[in-house]
Amino acid sequence: MLQQTRVETVVPYWERFLARFPTLQALADAPPDDVLGAWAGLGYYRRARDLQRAAREVVARFGGALPADAEALRSLPGVGRYTAGAVASIAFDRPEPVVDGNVARVLARLRGVRDDVTSAAGSRRLWDEAAALARGPAPGDLNQALMELGATLCAPRAPRCLACPLTRFCDAFRAGDADVLPVRGARRAPLAVEAVAALLVRDGRALAVRRPAPGLFAGLWDLPGGDVARGETPAQALARALEERTGLRPARAEPAGALDHELTHRRLRLHLFRAAAGAGRVRRRHFDAHRWLAPEALAALPIGALTARALRALLPASPGGATDARPRAAPEAL
DSSP string, 159-174: --GGG-TTGGG-HHHH
> How many DSSP H helices and E strands does the chain contain?
12, 8
Find out whether 242 and 198 touch, Cβ atoms under 8 Å: yes
Residues 303, 300: Cα–Cα separation, whole Å: 8
Q: DSSP E strands: which ranges in the chain?
A: 191-202, 205-210, 221-222, 225-227, 250-262, 266-277, 289-293, 332-333
pLDDT at 117: 94
pLDDT at 332: 28
Neighbours of 153 (CB within 10 A): 17
Q: Which domains, ranges and CATH numbers included, belong to the chain?
A: 1-66 (1.10.340.30), 92-187 (1.10.1670.10), 193-333 (3.90.79.10)
Residues of the chain with pLDDT under 50: 318-334
Residues 284, 247: Cα–Cα separation, whole Å: 7
Residues 326, 334: Cα–Cα separation, whole Å: 20
pLDDT at 213: 77
Phi and psi at 306, nearest 5°, equal -65, -40
Residues 57, 44: Cα–Cα separation, whole Å: 21
Torsion of CA 101, 158, 144, 97, to 10 degrees: 40
**Quick one: how far is CA 141 from the chain centroid?**
28
Among candidate residues 223, 190, 211, 217, the one with its CA nearest the CA of residue 323: 223
Neighbours of 30 (CB within 10 A): 16
Neighbouring residues of 277: CB distance < 8 A, sequence distance ≥ 6: 200, 201, 202, 207, 248, 250, 251
pLDDT digits (tens, 9 = 90+) for 147-192: 999 999 999 999 999 999 999 999 999 999 999 999 998 777 788 9
pLDDT at 24: 95
